[in-house]
Amino acid sequence: MQLNYIANAFVPSSSGKTIAMIDPSDGQVFEDIQRSNAHDIDTAVVAAQDCFELVWRRISAAERGRLLMKLATKVAAHADELALIEQRDCGKPVKQAKADAAALARYFEFYAGACDKLMGETIPYLDGYSVMTWREPHGVTGHIIPWNYPMQIFGRSVGGALAAGNVCVVKPAEDACLSLLRVAELAAEAGFPAGAVNIVTGYGHEVGDALARHPGIDHISFTGSPSVGTLIQQVAAERHCPVTLELGGKSPQIVFADADLDAAIPTIINAIVQNAGQTCSAGSRLLVEQAVYEPLLERLGKAFESLQVGPAAMDLDVGPLIRQSQQQRVWDFLSDAQVANIPMVAQGQIVDAAPDTGFYQAPTLLRDVPPQHRLAQEEVFGPVLCAMSFKSEDHAVELANSTRFGLVTGIWTRDGARQFRMAKRVKAGQVFINNYGAGGGVELPFGGVKSSGYGREKGFEALYGFTTLKTLAVRHG
Ligand code: NAD
């Protein structure tokens, strides 16, 4: 049984209750975690507050950097172990799980180097004054994390918060949290003081809600669904607690007739099948200029048919979805497509070795999806690519901006002027020209507009969100 991690020790929840963890590859229970409650959150917040007041706020920025670097080294040394945990917990194919562990180490490495480079300014002002700004940590930051990329999202969120001088209370998703409990233990081994990194597991409506409401939480970083993001924002508003919201997306991949299709095709596919489509920035809408719509769909159809789906340990193109309800969600979208006579171009194959009790879904390519249909408007969060054609640049922009989301846009064209015109007109937090995701570099600020959320994580930019600015004006005559 897995316990919470508070003040550098594994402790049970005061509830005495647990939640069963299910392996998505076979649908079987393999572990229990704590079903924590508001009391456990309070214990973690008090531990974090003590750590901040007594130890952490006195530690120099350079020393924080050294600790983060030691943690990066530890994570890298335990990458295979962490990847194996994530593989079982989330159903991630081996390569993806290893990539996530490597990204976690890289986040800590990046933020290790950033700690002592976060500076304020001096401001020219009236004669007789000296004015400066200080970037100060919020204090105790709360982190609510989803199940799709536990390690990566922990790395970008907790890594940034620690680098900026905060201490953290983390509520991972109830479906996938085991890797993070191990990372917290590694943080203690790396020398982080008790209370700097605390993990409390449990259900969102219980322990997540308690975290968001706790008066000792000075900033909330939430990554998850738009509907829960709304709840978090409302709860935080009651005490004017600052919030960063990293929510969903319905991101377009836009292909013009002059695009290099050979380069585009594997990227288009990866952008929707990676992590079985359970990626906030999945390129789930494919907008194609009319002249290449048919040839591109033909080639993509063949590629989709060759995609193989199976247990995480088999390390195929696609693993299982996280849980049965997620599988049902994808099935519901696909049956809506049938009802609306949306044509299916192709599907991948679920291998025979995949247990019937696992949560598998073959990657699916749909075409001529009406732009206002819910398949083109809502997150499926599964490996379903919705294609539609456009007539002109204006039409492409109109379609790209036609959802409530604005997270990522990919644009494929060889026309340099059009690249910039399009990049300026699409509503998104990140725009990729002739690529999609740029390899997910930790250096690249990430976040959305509209219902994709606000605030930025990743990159140096995140550190501004994890600090508050104090202005000091000294009158010396
Ligand atoms: P979710 O919103 O259901 O859960 C996310 C986290 O919030 C979990 O830890 C959950 O326990 C917690 N939670 C649920 N209800 C809560 C409540 N009432 N109060 C406080 N916490 C609560 O989302 P999910 O299904 O785990 O993840 C999928 C969603 O996350 C998708 O919409 C996806 O696009 C989004 N996502 C966004 C990003 C991004 O960076 N923009 C990254 C990954 C996932």
Query: Which of 214, 219, 296, 206 has its CA nearest to residue 255?
Result: 296
pLDDT in tens, 182-234: 999 999 999 999 999 999 999 999 999 999 999 999 999 999 999 999 999 99
Is the CB–ligand 1 distance for residue 284 below 6 Å? no
- Measured in Å, residue 146 CA sits from the centre of ligand 1 at 5
Whether 400 contacts 377, CB under 8 Å: no
Separation between Cα atoms, residue 413 and residue 56, nearest integer Å: 49
Is the CB–ligand 1 distance for residue 100 below 6 Å? no
Q: Calculate ∠ Cα 447-304-278, nearest 5°.
A: 30
**pLDDT confidence tier of residue 18, bands split at 50, 70 and 90:** very high
pLDDT, average across residues 152-173: 98
Please tell me the predicted confidence (pLDDT) of residue 445.
Answer: 98
Task: Give kind and range of the element (H or E) at residue 216.
Answer: none
Backbone angles phi, psi at 7, to 5 degrees: 55, 45
pLDDT, average across residues 66-70: 98
Please tell me the predicted confidence (pLDDT) of residue 327.
Answer: 98
Q: How far is CA 7 from CA 4, 410, 441, in A?
A: 10, 43, 31
Question: Ligand 1: which atom is nearest the Cα of residue 145?
Answer: 9
Nearest CA residue ID for atom 11, ligand 1: 204
Dihedral sign, Cα of residue 92, residue 95, residue 101, residue 104? negative
Catalytic one of 109, 174, 206, 246 = 246
Separation between Cα atoms, residue 299 and residue 461, nearest integer Å: 39
Helices (H), 218-257: 226-238
Please tell me the predicted confidence (pLDDT) of residue 247.
Answer: 97
Q: What is the dihedral of CA 352, 354, 358, 364, to 10 degrees?
A: -70
Query: Which of 232, 226, 228 has its CA nearest to residue 247?
Result: 226
For the chain, give every domain's residue range. Answer: 4-247+454-475, 252-441
Query: Terminal CA-to-CA distance of the chain, rounded, Å?
Result: 65
Task: Return mean pLDDT, the chain.
Answer: 98
Do domains 4-247+454-475 and 252-441 share one topology? The answer is: no
pLDDT in tens, 34-61: 999 999 999 999 999 999 999 999 999 9
Separation between Cα atoms, residue 473 and residue 459, nearest integer Å: 30
pLDDT, average across residues 84-95: 97
Is the CB–ligand 1 distance for residue 145 below 6 Å? yes
Is the CB–ligand 1 distance for residue 204 below 6 Å? yes
Q: What is the dihedral of CA 150, 151, 152, 158, to 10 degrees?
A: 100
- Residue 149 token pair: 């990329």
- Residue 384 token pair: 């379903």
Architecture of domain 4-247+454-475: 3-Layer(aba) Sandwich (3.40)
> Which is the CATH superfamily of the domain at 252-441?
Aldehyde Dehydrogenase; Chain A, domain 2 (3.40.309.10)
Beta bridge partners of 31: 21
Ligand 1 pocket: which of 41, 223, 384 to mutate (most atoms within 8 A of CB): 223
Residue 241 annotated to the active site:
no
The secondary structure of 435-463 as a DSSP string is SSSGGG-TTS-B--SGGGEES-BSTTHHH
Residue 168 annotated to the active site:
no
pLDDT in tens, 401-434: 999 999 999 999 999 999 999 999 999 999 999 9
pLDDT, average across residues 117-125: 97
- Residue 357 token pair: 């009790």
Backbone angles phi, psi at 258, to 5 degrees: -90, 10
